[in-house]
Chain A
Amino acid sequence: MTLSDLNPGSRALIHDIGSVDDLLRRRLIDLGVMEGTEIVVRRSLPFGGPLTLEAGGQWIGLRRRDAACIQVTPA
């Protein structure tokens, strides 16, 4: 299951970010978003727009396409 499959309000544990674009993965890791991090989908914008995510009290915006590269297990 990937992060983009989750509905707003649901929580999940990240278990693989290996297929995320290199540049983006580095940025996510910088913010402490990596394997083992708990992440919550807060909101999504229409027409396939970006998702608002929360991890460890930090709010970030990410595209749905990139979120689809993050493998998660629902918590």
Chain B
Amino acid sequence: MRSVALLGNPNTGKTSLFNVITGSYAYVGNWAGVTVEKKVGLLKNKQAHVIDLPGVYSVNPLSADETVVTRFLLNEPFAAILNIVDASQLERNLYLTVQLLEFGKPLIVALNMIDVARGRGVEVDPGALARGLGVRVLPIVARTGKGCDAVARELSEGRLPESAPLRLDYGPELEAAAEEIAGRAGSVDGLPARWLALQYMEGNAMVEKLLERRIEPDWLKARREAAAARIAQASGAKSLQQYIRQVRGEWIARLAAEATRRTGADHSLLTDRIDAVVTNKYLGMPIFLLTMFLMFKLTFDWVGTPLSDALDGFINGTLAGWIESLLDLLKVSPFIRDLILQGIIGGVGGVLVFVPQIFMLFLLISFIEDSGYMARVAMVMDRIMESIGLNGKAFIPMIIGFGCNVPGIMAARTVEQPKERLLTILLTPLMSCSARLSVYSLFAGTFFRGSQSVVVFSLYVLGIAVALLMAKVFSGTLFRNERSLFFVELPPYRVPQWRTLALSTWEKGKGFIRKAGTFIFGGSVVIWLLGYAGPKGLNVPMDESFLAMIGGLLAPLLQPLGFGSWQAGAALITGFLAKEVVVSTMNIIYAAPDLQTLHIALGQQFDALQAYAFMAFILLYVPCLATVAVISKETGSKKWTWFSVLYCLAVAYIIGLAIYQGGRALLG
């Protein structure tokens, strides 16, 4: 089956279009860099595969997510290109289109955001654009799906016309050099030779590496430098890159002038007015903090917790009752009965009750992403981030990390500077994710009833504060000599659509439910068995079980932090699987039939100060298994992976110690 590559600038609606024409659902948002990896989907009419790639401005890559596209063009077979073009930023978008047309694969343009352009007082004529580019141009509204079916039909078998590569005239000096290089490049892996030559002249590092494997690097460099010198003399251009840019830019400007018409007033005032408030000199930071605080109020006090309590009543009351009667009816052995009621219902059910809170948080994060506010947060935070050696954009992965650290760490790819990206990856695990939230909900619900959201908010702030402090330490020691950079696009605001929000929330939240069925289920069974069996046999008292022995090994180490019990030790070990497992473990250890009983059991084990130290330790101690795996994948380094685990552990121990010992001294 043929495959079609979906390419375009960042934040132009590629993923929205992908979702409509393939009927799948992938993550979308209103900030540049949402898609960091390629995704493959099947067209609804099953005629072709569509490959969704990260947004790029140019084929010549700059940041890690952009190399994905260039690598794709160079290495992967595909039949055609679907190029999505943002009509409201026509000239910038056409720059990529020119490079893709030079590549010479069959290409269709999907012209998106005509409505946004119209709001800015610009009318774009698809017909004139099609004549100028020499390819089909189909107007679409990707967010609502309008016009997308026509795109899907066009991509279906047998309808894509082959087209000759676009040839712009780059002037005699460059053309001569390009021809010479193209002549020697021949057909490298079937790639178009002229395109390779032009990309090489433009300074595309990946093409350079490819060509240098076939042709002597010195010969290539000599050609490039000679052309650059001649062009500098003839045209005054400072670099080849600038010159090529200029030639393409002039061609595009002529085309854009033919294809667009100014119709009237610019209505982009709404975005301007909102920005006047949310990035205001004095109000910007307070508004951001207020937004975060409202997020927690909604998640904990106003909406999430009441729903969680209701769900707890259902799972641990009604549902557990039904299962119990069913087990009685089936006359199962006491072993199976306990395994199901205490192990599985206790462990998995104890985690599932937090689903409403977690979905509420994901809904709010989705709202922030889809509205366009995320890029403004990067603006507002930049000054603070700069002072610790990072940039405002590094804050976006951290906010996403509040939902789950795994996508947060992947979002760090949009940070251009390699050092800042690595630093962002190391710090994101300190952001308190939704899995940890279940632990806080449990403990804050036991010890801080009435002031839950304040206590939980303080833990989120603690995570951020530790991250900022560590950033300062690391950028002053490990990455001393590198300069920090900041650049962000500010997309126009839009009102998120309910459909998008619902899908986006589900997409983020379903991982949590899947985890409940796999890791947490498996973990609960193992934990229950370890608690059920001991050196003296089966069905031993919990204190003489294997679980107590294992947890007991850690207990002396944890004593100075205020929670030196085998129960806490066991919960921390199992919490490495996934942090929610801490809650499952507590449920199983205390054999609590519902949240109420568990609150009482915990109240006898911990006091408020110990509980707070325990929560702070859970927040910081080690990234969960899935996070460690993604750190290892994203950094590609065992050293940095180990480093992230060990420094978190050290920081957690120090902070836990400070909270407990400091708190004891203060409270007398």
Chain A interface residues (CB < 8 Å from chain B) = 18, 21, 23-24, 26-32, 34, 42-50, 52, 56-63, 66
Contacts and interface: CB of A to CB of B under 8 A. Distances in A.
Given A52-B275, A52-B379, 12 more contacts: A21-B485, A30-B58, A32-B95, A34-B245, A42-B272, A43-B275, A45-B281, A45-B383, A49-B380, A49-B383, A57-B268, A63-B486
Contacts of A29: 241-242, 245
Contacts of A32: 91-92, 95, 249
B48 interface: no
Interface string B171-189: 0000000000000000000
Contacts of B492: 59
Nearest to A33: B92
A59 B489 contact: yes
Contact of B489 (A26, A46, A58): A58
A56 B249 CA distance: 13
B272 A61 contact: no
A42 B417 CA distance: 26
Contact of B487 (A24, A34, A49): A24
B281 A46 contact: yes
Nearest to B117: A57
A21 B484 CA distance: 10
Interface in B295-333: none
Given A26-B62, A46-B281, A50-B382, A61 B392 contact: yes
Given A31-B92, A45-B279, A23 B62 contact: yes
B487 to A, nearest CB: 5
A44 to B, nearest CB: 7
B378 interface: yes
A23 B490 contact: no
Contacts of A28: 487
B483 A21 contact: yes
Interface string B453-475: 00000000000000000000000
24 contacts: A23-B62, A23-B416, A26-B62, A29-B242, A30-B57, A32-B249, A42-B275, A43-B275, A45-B380, A45-B382, A46-B282, A49-B379, A49-B380, A50-B383, A52-B279, A56-B91, A57-B268, A59-B491, A59-B492, A61-B379, A61-B392, A62-B486, A62-B487, A63-B486
Given A30-B57, A57-B88, A43 B279 contact: yes
Contacts of B638: none
Given A30-B62, A43-B276, A50-B392, A23 B417 contact: yes
Nearest to A46: B281
B486 A50 contact: yes
Interface string B392-419: 1000000000000000000000001100
B382 A63 contact: yes
Nearest to B94: A32
A61 B382 contact: yes
A23 B421 CA distance: 14
Interface in B3-43: none
Which residue among A30, A31, A52, A58 has the maximum number of chain B CB atoms within 10 Å of its CB?
A: A30
A45 B487 contact: no
A55 to B, nearest CB: 10
